[in-house]
Chain A
Amino acid sequence: MARALINIPRAAKRGDVIEIKALISHPMETGYRHDETGKGIPRDIINRFVCLYNGVEVFRADLFPAISANPFLSFHTVATESGVIALAWTGDDGETYTQLANITVE
């Protein structure tokens, strides 16, 4: 099943401000809800999101239970050099998912 939609420009001019958008498929279960039998549904959210540009952290976010399902993150950075932009997010299960995108800077 689809995990995330990443939108990063493939090419940019040096010094350009670029927008990075990520839409992640996730239930973001708050931990405050109960099922039909009254049993608590355990919390299951993405709690951390990091963006690395050629290994350098350019954006980081901590996420909390109030954030809706399928979180959408959008932020800006400056295109400095060609390389790889890595988006990584960590869930309550401790697993980290990473998606990579290449960018060419002229």
Chain B
Amino acid sequence: MARLVRSVSFALVAAIVPVLAAVSAGEIPESERRSDYHLMSPQTRAMQDDETANPGTLWVLDGEALWEQKAGSAQRSCADCHQDARQSMKGVAARYPAFDAARGRPVDLEQRINICRAEKQKAPELAPESKELVALTTYVATQSRGMPIAIATEGMEKFIAAGRELFERRSGQLNLSCSQCHDDNWGRLLAGNVVPQAHPVGYPLYRLEWQGVGSLQRRLRNCMIGLRAEPYAYGSPENVALELYLMYRARGLPMETPAVRP
């Protein structure tokens, strides 16, 4: 009997060892990096690809209207300074979050829009995840559709490292890090779903579960709630650092905004 127990426990250990070996696989090599678009059903992919079926287009159109709308005591619209977004905003979202010299830290696209509102338009900042802010961000980001993600790393090493540290840090009651799923076990099944590589190529995106368009930070907060961790506040340095690291990690992948995800 004792021998049986011993051999059973040996078998268990033998089964666990490869799992442990798979841990700390590190960053996904460039040749295997790909958008989670490929994990979606053909129906959801068709929905994203057809502009007239992609509900994210409704937000793009809203953003286009807001771009032209005068706001604040300066009575200036985005277009008054930046003219045609199709030209001036091309490739911008693929470079964000970007370093803001005046603040000495990276800011994401939503923060950049709000900085512009406060300083140039003299208008109150838009609330995180408000229809207006999400629509404007979607409109700006969609101008980079198809362009490769290219974060400027110069002077940002410290912040990218901070984001990576957060990505690899275990947290929440489940005591899991982002990296354990999305670096080490992507492509495998978690409760019937394929674990995605989690590249933020299509944000802001239309999530069927949300029945609306939301930001990357909204998605990150969802993930943290899933880990039973306290989510970081919208616009907090932690969330921006995570966003920055995720964009750095997805460098080279083409933007899909507005993407559709289940």
| Residues of A near any B CB (own CB < 8 A) | 1-2, 5, 7, 21, 23, 25, 28, 68-70, 72, 74
Residues of A within 8 A of B61 (CB): 2, 5
Q: Which one of B52-60, B187-195, B236-244 is at the interface?
A: B52-60
A-B CB contacts (within 8 Å), total count: 33
Given contacts A2-B58, A2-B61, A2-B65, contact A21 B211 (CB under 8 A): no
Do A5 and B211 touch (CB < 8 A)? Answer: no
Q: Which residue from chain B places its CB closest to the CB of A1 in the assembled complex? A: B62
Cα of A72 to Cα of B51 in the assembled complex, Å:
12
Q: Which of B57, B62, B131, B211 contacts A23 (CB 8 A)?
A: B57
15 sample A-B contacts, Cβ–Cβ < 8 Å, listed by A number: A1-B131, A2-B62, A2-B65, A5-B52, A5-B57, A7-B52, A21-B52, A23-B57, A23-B58, A25-B55, A25-B58, A69-B212, A72-B53, A72-B55, A74-B53
Q: How far apart are A85's CB and chain B's nearest CB, in angstroms?
A: 15
Those of B206-222 within 8 Å (CB) of chain A:
208, 211-212
The 7 closest A-B pairs by CB, nearest first: A2-B61, A69-B211, A7-B52, A70-B55, A25-B58, A2-B58, A1-B62
- B residues lining the A interface (CB < 8 Å): 52-53, 55, 57-58, 61-62, 65, 131, 208, 211-212
Q: Which of A7, A21, A28, A70 contacts B58 (CB 8 A)?
A: A70
Q: How far is the CB of A65 from chain B (nearest CB, A)?
A: 13
Shortest beta-carbon distance, B55 to chain A, in Å? Answer: 4
Other contacts beyond A1-B65, A23-B55, A70-B58: 4, CB < 8 A: A5-B58, A21-B52, A25-B55, A68-B211
**Residues in B neighbouring A23, C-beta threshold 8 A:** 52-53, 55, 57-58
Are A68 and B208 in contact (CB-based, < 8 A)?
A: yes
Bound together, the chains give a CA A74 to CA B53 distance in angstroms of 9
Measured between C-beta atoms, what is the minimum distance from B166 to chain A in Å?
29
Please report the C-alpha to C-alpha distance between residue A5 and residue B61 in the assembled complex, in whole angstroms: 10
B residues in contact with A74, CB < 8 Å? 53
A72 to B55, CA, bound (A): 8
Inter-chain contacts of B58 with A (CB < 8 A) = 2, 5, 23, 25, 70
For A1, the chain B residues whose CB sits under 8 A away are 62, 65, 131
Q: Shortest beta-carbon distance, A29 to chain B, in Å?
A: 10
